[in-house]
Every structure is written in C-alpha cells, then in structure tokens.
C-alpha cells in the first residue's frame, strides 16, 4: 500500500475511530466539530483531540472522565495505522501511531512515488497566470528586486506540482517618463552598441541622464523660488541639488567618458525635461519614431534580464508589453467603460476614480479586510497632459489576463498594496466581481543590506549579477576547503549551484510579509538554515546510500524506535500536508522552513546512530529506507523552490 499523504491517512483513521466511539456512547447528542492538534511532545502521541472540553459542558461531565470513557470505547480491532488511544492531561484524547506500519506506509510511498512524493493533486485544477518580476527596462535587476522573480518562480512551481496549468508572465513596463529618459540619453549618445552586458550599459545611461536632467530641473526651480522669495522652498531645493551634485561627481568618476558626452549633448537642449515629456507622450500615442527608439532600448535591457534570470533557471511563458495595451486601444476602451460608471470624475484637468465609493456602494470593505472608517484614496486615471498612469493601464492588462486564466496572481511588493486594491475595485466598478475575486496580490517585503541604502534613480544599487558572482566565488572557497580531493571542474560546478541555491533559498525562506536582511554570514552558512546546509544534508544522505551499495531487502520498521527516528518518520509523512498548506496559503517559505528542519533532524540522526553497520541487518535495512525517504523529500523540497539537490558536495 502506498499513499500520496501518509499522515493524512493516519488523521483520517483517528477521525473515523473517534466518530464511531462518540456515536456509540452518545447516539442522540449533537457533536462538536472534531479538530486535531499536535501534542507538545511525541510521548503524548502524534495527534490529540480536545473535543472533551467542549463536550463536557453539554453533558455536564468532567473532561478527563469523558476522555477516559471515549478512549475505552475506541475499538482496537479497527486499528490499522493507529497504535493506541489514551486519555491524558485534563481531558485530551491522544492518538499514538503504530510506528512499524506507519513507517512502512510512509517510506514505501516515498520510494515508489519518488519525484511525485509530497505533491498532492488539487481537487479542482485551474488555469492560472502568475505575473512576476516586471523590473522596468531601465537598469539591471538589483538584489532589492531579486526577491520578486525567486518568489514568483517558486509559486509557479508549487502550483504546477499540484496539477494546475500555470503560465508565467513578465509585464514589460515600457510606458512612462523613466523609459523616455533612458531612450533620450541613448539617442543623445547616437544609439551606441552596448559595452559589456546590455542591461548594465543601459542602466548607466539611465542613471547619468536622469541625474543631469534632475540637476537642470532643480536649478530652474531654485531660480523661480528665489524670484518669488520662497526662502524655505529655496533651502529645500538646494539640499536636493547638493545631493544630486554629489551623485553627479560619483558618476563622473565612475564613467567619465559616458558622463561627459551625455552632459555635452543634453546641454544642447534648452529644456531637456520638455523633450523627455514629449517623447513619453509620443510613445504612448504610438508615433513611429518614439516607438523605434524606446523599443530598441527596452529590448537591449530585456536581453540582459533574460541572461541574469537564466542563471537562476527562471523563465517566462509570455512577455507582455504595456505599450501594446495602449496602442491596441485596450486602455482607451477600459477608460471609456469606467467613465460610464458613477465612480469617475474630473478634478481640474485630471481624471479620478473614486475607489472608496465603490467599496461603500458594494459593501466590499469587510471582504477586503478593511475597516469601515478607512477611506480609500482616489486613483488618478489620466494626468492633465492626457497621459495615463501605470495602474490605469494595469486595469486593462488585468482584464486581458483574466480572460485567459481562471485565476491571476500578481507578485508585487507590499508598497503597491494601495494600487492593487484600487485596481481590484476598478474591476468591481466595471461589473467584473468574479474576475476581481480571482485577482490575487501576492505581496512581499523588501530586501535590505545592512549599512547600504539602494536607490535605482541615483544609481546606488547592487546588481543581482554581482550578488550571484560573489555567491558562487564564496561557495567555491568553501567547497575547496571542505572537499580538496575534488577536481577543479567538480569544485566549480558544485560552487555554481551551491552559490545560486544559497541566494534563492535566502530570498524564499523568510515569510513574504517580513523583510529579508541579506548577509553572507547567513546566506552561505553550511552549518544551519541555508540552502547549502540543506544541499549538504541531501548529499550526505546520497553518500550513505552509495556506501551501502544495496537495496534494503528485509526492513523491520518496528525496530525504528529511537526518538529521532520517530521524529524523522513523522516529518517525512507530513511533507504532503506542508506542501498543501504552502499551496493553499501561497506560502513558499513553509517548504523552505520544512526542508531546513528535516535537515536538522537528519543530521542529528546521522551523528547519533549507525546505518550501514547497524545490527540486526533488518534494522540496518530499515534505517537505509529512512535515509532514502529523507533524500527523496529533501530533493523534492529543494527542487520545488528551484534549487538543485546535489549527490556530492
């Protein structure tokens, strides 16, 4: 017998036994819902029910006496996976597993299901779009943005593993002032061929161009403020100018040739800001000259993104250009429909969407987890110059996605929570309630580096490429020290997947709602809670099996009676439930946390008990089966978060 969810089988048997006992004792009484919890220690069993506390109030009996009566009424003749049932504490009913039978079910299920073990299939399988990453094509992906693709890819992987049809989409945000700035600088340089990696080259152009334009803009604003004698405003603007002047000095020192050429060329324009705004407006209107230059820059940046993401084995099924939704009138038609609702109004020359009124009229605040007294700010749909905003365009894009999938998950930072809420309310306003309910914002917190503040516009960031390079190099040093007997080629290959795995694990294992504090001491720790630590544990399990050089023939699972063996058995049996929890609640960190805890327990087992030399041979075989099951689960857990499980390290 094998099972996709061994612990689920045990839980089901406990529930059926308890229901039958209750029915035989109290045939006419209405029963509370049966809920199980995990006892604080395995000496109290693997599952416990507190039903007697609630039932005692109805029946007027003491909980402990009631628990004893129910435990005695449970028929041992019907035990399969259950070993015993007992009353305990002040009135708990504790269920103990039959370790021999349960180990056989669990380890045989892991062995036979192998790469499918743990991945319970969803009862209803759906078409799902996961949109993630969407870094603006202005500069390379930096470590502050890298959590998005790693989380998005992991979500897509776990959803696919449970049977959903998942398509990953990258939304190319190529409309807006920022893309016009980088295209303006690129044009001023005469459309040069990239020197080095294209996204890094384009990023330098963007930062320098933006810096020069900001300095020119601030000088004019200071001049105007001085004329009108706004002294406080002058001081504020001068502080900003000082900061940008300092940034300009940094950039000139780093990229002297590029900086000087851009400065000379931009100074030829009387009003660079006006030229940029005109380019932005022309691009949104689909004018050919603007389309050619901005697309050329964006494509070069995306080429660099593909290379970076390819290193971490993250790929996309679709690249969706924001501009296409503007040019094909998707945005225009969506705006027209919104205008027909009572929720759009003009304020000056700006078009606004009254998100709060939608929430009130449709009584949506409770369902959206909002306080009734919270006033949702209005959303600007169209600026005074006639250009649209990102969220306006995103309404049209969301409708397009929801026509192609039953559910859409947007992996977007927590700082965009208001915009995502306004977007959802726009769908409700348009009459797409069902679509709105199937639009999910997967929010995540920032990545921080102690002592370093990132600012993309100012060119102050650490690229994802640089972090990956350093991770691989640090891993190489560690692997060389630990395994000097390996060939240079083996060391380099192991260092590559260990370094990359370390970074990916660090970005996944923290709860998405919490920030990731990125330090090398934590990321590449081979001794605890890291990708390398789990990879090393998997390799250790493979090494044991390799040295044993045999398949367990007569495992006697009831001999696995050491506490650590029972803890590992329980963990392996619960992997499918951990996986289901991660899927249902979109919590990929649960799988990372689980893998780390299993690695901890396995290493305790490894250091405490013999496997190959254990006696009798039936115990050795049982422990080999345990090692193999742990190997399978560690590998499956790593692979579902996109990390290679090595056989050697």
Burial of 470 by CB count in 10 Å (0-12 exposed, 13-18 middle, 19+ buried)?
Answer: middle
Which residue shows structure tokens 């409700």?
428
Q: pLDDT by residue (tens digit) across 546-572?
A: 999 988 888 999 999 999 999 999 999
Give the CA count within 13 Å in the CB-facing half-sphere of 290.
22
pLDDT on residue 231: 78
What's the pTM value of the predicted model, to 2 decimals?
A: 0.93
Q: What is the set of domains in the chain, with CATH numbers?
A: 6-97 (3.30.1360.70), 127-174+320-448 (3.40.50.620), 177-314 (no CATH), 464-640 (1.10.730.10)
Rg (CA), the chain: 30
Q: Which regions of 513-581 does DSSP assign to beta strands (E)?
A: 516-517
**Measuring CA to CA, how many Å separate 104 from each of 114, 315, 544, 562, 612?**
15, 39, 20, 16, 19
Mean pLDDT of all residues in 170-178: 95
Q: pLDDT by residue (tens digit) across 425-483?
A: 999 999 999 999 999 999 999 998 887 776 667 777 889 999 999 999 999 999 999 88
pLDDT on residue 454: 65
Closest alpha carbon to 612 in 543, 538, 539: 543
Q: Locate all alpha helices (DSSP H) within 51-168, ordered by sequence.
A: 51-59, 63-73, 99-113, 147-161
pLDDT on residue 251: 94
Weakest-pLDDT range from 276-290, 313-327, 444-458, 635-649: 444-458
Note whether 162 and 579 are within 8 A (CB): yes
Any idea how long the chain is? Answer: 649
Mean pLDDT rounded to a whole number for the chain: 94
Mean pLDDT of all residues in 402-413: 97
DSSP secondary structure letter of residue 301: H
Residues above pLDDT 70, as percent of the chain:
99
Q: Is the pLDDT of residue 230 over 80?
A: no
224 pLDDT band, cuts 50/70/90, is confident
- Distance (Å, whole) CA 509 – CA 274: 46
- Distance (Å, whole) CA 633 – CA 499: 21
User: Which residues face 440 on adjacent strands?
Assistant: 409
Note whether 646 and 497 are within 8 A (CB): yes
Closest alpha carbon to 166 in 154, 176, 177: 154
3-class DSSP state of 166: strand
Note whether 515 and 454 are within 8 A (CB): no
Q: pLDDT by residue (tens digit) across 112-123?
A: 999 999 999 999
Q: Which regions of 289-405 does DSSP assign to beta strands (E)?
A: 318-321, 344-347, 350-353, 379-382
Omega prior to 616 cis, within 30 of 0: yes
pLDDT on residue 76: 85
Note whether 504 and 524 are within 8 A (CB): no
Token reading at 192: 């040069």
67 pLDDT band, cuts 50/70/90, is very high
Sign of the alpha-carbon torsion through 258, 259, 264, 270: positive
The backbone torsions φ and ψ at residue 298, rounded to the nearest 5 degrees and listed phi first, read -60, -40
- Distance (Å, whole) CA 614 – CA 118: 29
Buried b (16+ CB within 10 A) or exposed e, 395-404: bbbbbbbbee
3-class DSSP state of 619: helix
Q: Which residues contact 106 (CB under 8 A, 6 or more apart)?
A: 6, 7, 569, 572, 573, 629
194 pLDDT band, cuts 50/70/90, is very high
- Distance (Å, whole) CA 534 – CA 97: 28
Higher per-residue confidence, 219 vs 460:
219
Closest alpha carbon to 158 in 215, 119, 103: 119
Q: What is the DSSP string of 205-241?
A: HHHHHHHHHHHHHHHHHHHHHHHTT-HHHHHHHHHHH
Provide the greatest CA pair distance for the chain.
95
223 pLDDT band, cuts 50/70/90, is confident
Note whether 199 and 301 are within 8 A (CB): yes
294 pLDDT band, cuts 50/70/90, is very high
User: Which residues face 345 on adjacent strands?
Assistant: 352
Q: Is the pLDDT of residue 234 over 90?
A: no
- Other residues' Cβ atoms within 10 Å of the Cβ of residue 75: 11
pLDDT on residue 616: 96
Note whether 91 and 50 are within 8 A (CB): yes
Note whether 637 and 110 are within 8 A (CB): no
DSSP secondary structure letter of residue 611: S
Closest alpha carbon to 380 in 389, 371, 369, 368: 389
Higher per-residue confidence, 594 vs 388:
594
Mean pLDDT of all residues in 604-633: 97
Which residue shows structure tokens 């099972």?
3
């Amino acid at each position: 017998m094998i099972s996709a969810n061994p612990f689920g089988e045990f839980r089901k048997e406990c529930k059926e036994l308890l229901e039958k006992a209750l029915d035989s004792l109290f045939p006419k009484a209405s029963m509370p819902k049966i809920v199980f919890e995990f006892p604080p220690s395995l000496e109290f069993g693997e599952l416990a029910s507190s039903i007697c506390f609630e039932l005692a109030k109805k029946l007027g009996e003491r909980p402990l006496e009631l628990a004893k009566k129910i435990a005695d009424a449970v028929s041992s003749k019907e035990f399969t996976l259950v070993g015993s049932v007992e009353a305990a504490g002040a009135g708990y009913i504790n269920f103990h597993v039959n370790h021999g039978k349960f180990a056989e079910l669990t380890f045989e299920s892991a062995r036979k299901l192998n790469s499918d073990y743990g991945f319970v299939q969803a009862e209803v399988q759906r078409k799902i779009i996961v949109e993630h990453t969407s870094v603006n094509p202005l500069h390379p992906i930096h470590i502050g943005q890298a959590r998005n693709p790693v989380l998005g890819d992991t979500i897509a992987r776990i959803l696919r593993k449970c049977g959903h049809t998942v398509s990953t989409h990258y939304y190319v945000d190529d409309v807006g002032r920022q893309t016009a700035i980088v295209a303006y600088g690129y044009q001023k340089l005469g459309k040069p061929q990239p020197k080095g990696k294209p996204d890094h080259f384009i990023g330098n152009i963007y930062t320098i161009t933006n810096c020069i334009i900001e300095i020119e803009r601030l000088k004019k604003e200071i001049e105007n403020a001085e004329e009108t004698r706004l002294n406080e405003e002058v001081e504020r603007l001068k502080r900003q100018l000082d900061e940008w002047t300092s940034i300009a000095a940094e950039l000139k020192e780093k990229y002297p040739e590029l900086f000087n050429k851009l400065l000379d060329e931009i100074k030829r324009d009387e009003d660079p800001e006006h030229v940029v705004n005109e380019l932005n407006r022309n691009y949104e209107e689909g004018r050919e000259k603007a389309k050619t230059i901005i697309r050329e820059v964006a494509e070069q940046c995306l080429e660099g993104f593909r290379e970076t993401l390819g290193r971490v084995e993250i790929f996309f099924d679709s690249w969706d250009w924001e501009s296409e939704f503007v040019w094909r009138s998707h945005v225009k038609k969506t705006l027209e429909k919104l205008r027909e609702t009572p929720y759009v109004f003009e304020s000056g020359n700006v078009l606004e969407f009254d998100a709060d009124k939608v929430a009130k009229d449709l009584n949506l605040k409770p369902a959206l987890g909002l306080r009734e007294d919270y006033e949702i700010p209005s959303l600007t749909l169209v600026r005074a110059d006639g250009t649209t905003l990102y969220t306006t365009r995103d309404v049209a894009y969301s409708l397009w996605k929801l026509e192609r999938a039953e559910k859409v998950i947007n992996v977007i930072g927590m700082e965009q929570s208001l915009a995502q809420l306004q977007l959802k309310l726009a769908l409700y306003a348009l009459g797409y309630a069902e679509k709105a309910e199937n639009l999910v914002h997967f929010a995540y917190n920032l990545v921080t580096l102690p002592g370093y503040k990132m600012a993309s516009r100012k060119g102050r960031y650490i690229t994802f490429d640089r972090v990956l390079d350093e991770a691989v190099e640090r891993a190489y040093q560690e692997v060389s020290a630990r395994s000097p007997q390996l060939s240079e080629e083996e060391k380099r290959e192991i260092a590559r997947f260990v370094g990359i795995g370390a970074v990916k694990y660090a970005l996944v294992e923290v709860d998405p709602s919490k920030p990731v504090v990125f330090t090398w001491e934590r990321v590449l720790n081979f001794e605890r809670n890291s990708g390398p630590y789990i990879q090393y544990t998997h390799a250790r399990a493979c090494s044991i099996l390799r040295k044993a050089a045999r398949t367990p023939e007569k495992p006697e699972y009831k001999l696995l009676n050491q506490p650590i063996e029972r803890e590992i058995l329980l963990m392996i049996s619960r992997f499918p439930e951990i996986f289901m929890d991660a899927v249902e609640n979109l919590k990929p960190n649960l799988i990372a946390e689980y893998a780390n805890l299993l690695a901890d327990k396995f290493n305790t087992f490894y250091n405490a008990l013999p496997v190959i030399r254990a006696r009798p041979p039936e115990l050795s075989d049982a422990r080999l089966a345990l090692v193999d099951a742990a190997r399978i689960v560690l590998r499956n857990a790593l692979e579902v978060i996109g990390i290679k499980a090595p056989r050697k390290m």
